[in-house]
Chains A and B, each alone.
Chain A
Amino acid sequence: MFAALGDWTAYALLGLSPEGSLGPAVQFFVMDTAKIFAMLVAVIYVMGLLRAMISPERVREYVRGKPKGVARSLAVGLGAVTPFCSCSSVPLFIGFVEAGIPLGVTFSFLIASPMINEVAVVLLVGILGWKLTALYVASGLAVAYAGGIAMERLRPERWVADYVWQIQMGETAHPAVDNSLPGRHRFAVGEVREIVGRIWKWVLLGIGVGALFHGYVPQAWVSAYLAGGEWWSVPAAVLIGVPLYANATGVIPVAEAMLAKEVAIGTVLALMMAIAALSLPEMLILRKVLHWKALAYYAAILAGAFVLVGWGFNLLA
């Protein structure tokens, strides 16, 4: 249905040729814009209706006081079902520290949260299939788990800003929620508005990049340099992806276009994770609670992990 809409707009309405570069690019852009936004609205609405997202306040309560291994597994797992807004990462960091949650566990949560969430998972399954979704989620969880442990080894306590240790947090507030059906509906509509309002730019940007790749990057060039999983293509993908930011949904169309041209799967996964997990704006926000050295190690450890994941999948493929 969405492909037909794309075909109609590009080839019938605008009269572009399916053989050129512009035609397929426009077709991809129209198709993916319609498909992704329709899915986004539907999925966020349903998640809102079910109240399937867990608040960071709850995560803090579940994780605090647990033995470290359990705490880390919980942090990684719950990070995947907690909606993430980089504007909350400072209070979140402080709240975890104040609850006595080990820093390594907090880092595990910070890695998992932006990379994986229910909305992105449903879209991934719908657009890229369950197999790629499973690989993405499994490697994301593994990187979050191991990345937190690696950070812990560096004794990051010394890089936490002094004022953070002094903050006393009050009793966690859980405002009463209206669980009647109209209440749930209002909440779900609010979620759609809030989340789509926040991420639409990144999604559109991702679709634009995907469309350019789809229309303008020659298949022969991709086959020659990116399809065989050349070793340098993975670190190159990570280097490009780390400073870039799009949320987890925005990277899906880019991956879609790359996979359609048969770019090696490890290279695609490494790029997706690097774009979704690390971003310059989040780093600047975290700078309020952490010395830049901690952030540099954080970025380096994650970049290293993504390269390993990419190489691993390219070897297996």
Chain B
Amino acid sequence: MTREVKVLGSGCRNCRNTAALIEEVAAEQGVAIDLQKVEETAEIMRYGVMSTPGVVVDGEVVHAGGVPDRKEVAQWLDAPR
């Protein structure tokens, strides 16, 4: 099943790096993901995130503020659902 991943952030460099990292790790692990970038402030705030970039996996906020660590990303994608 495809994992739904959203990167929350207004298009800053860290947000692009985060999105690229997630794509990379997903490809390595062979996990199918549907990656979306959420750039609208109002929508980012709806997730309760103020420090960007934030990451939402299958509807749950798993990260807020700063580029996440590669190992962390691997754990999110691996987690049982």
Genuine A/B complex: yes
**Chain A residues in contact with chain B, CB under 8 A?**
55-57, 60, 85, 87-88, 90-92, 94-95, 98, 163, 166-173, 175-176, 178, 186-187, 189-191, 193-194, 288
Partner of B51, one of A57, A169, A170: A57
**Chain B residues in contact with chain A, CB under 8 A?**
10, 12, 14, 41-42, 44-52, 54, 61-69, 71-72
With A91-B44, A167-B42, A191-B66 known as contacts, the answer to whether A57 contacts B71 (CB < 8 A) is no
Q: Report yes or no: B46 in contact with A173, Cβ–Cβ below 8 A.
A: no
Q: Report yes or no: A171 in contact with B45, Cβ–Cβ below 8 A.
A: no
Partner of B69, one of A170, A173, A186: A186
Q: Report yes or no: A190 in contact with B66, Cβ–Cβ below 8 A.
A: yes
Partner of B50, one of A92, A166, A176: A92
Q: Report yes or no: B45 in contact with A175, Cβ–Cβ below 8 A.
A: no
Determine the distance from Cα of A193 to Cα of B54 in the docked complex, in whole angstroms. 18
Partner of A91, one of B49, B63, B71: B49
Q: Which residues of A contact B14 (CB under 8 A)?
A: 87, 194
A35 to chain B, nearest CB (A): 26
Q: Report yes or no: B50 in contact with A170, Cβ–Cβ below 8 A.
A: no
Determine the distance from Cα of A163 to Cα of B71 in the docked complex, in whole angstroms. 38
Q: Report yes or no: A91 in contact with B45, Cβ–Cβ below 8 A.
A: yes
Q: Report yes or no: B45 in contact with A94, Cβ–Cβ below 8 A.
A: yes
With A55-B64, A175-B62, A187-B69 known as contacts, the answer to whether A169 contacts B52 (CB < 8 A) is no
Q: Report yes or no: A163 in contact with B12, Cβ–Cβ below 8 A.
A: no
The 5 closest A-B pairs by CB, nearest first: A173-B61, A170-B48, A173-B48, A172-B48, A95-B50
A4 to chain B, nearest CB (A): 36
Known: A167-B45, A190-B67, A193-B67. 13 other contacts (CB 8 A): A55-B64, A57-B48, A57-B64, A88-B51, A91-B44, A91-B45, A91-B49, A95-B45, A168-B46, A172-B48, A173-B47, A173-B49, A186-B72
Q: Report yes or no: A55 in contact with B51, Cβ–Cβ below 8 A.
A: yes
Partner of A55, one of B61, B65, B69: B65
Determine the distance from Cα of A187 to Cα of B69 in the docked complex, in whole angstroms. 7
Q: Report yes or no: B64 in contact with A170, Cβ–Cβ below 8 A.
A: no
Q: Report yes or no: B65 in contact with A169, Cβ–Cβ below 8 A.
A: no
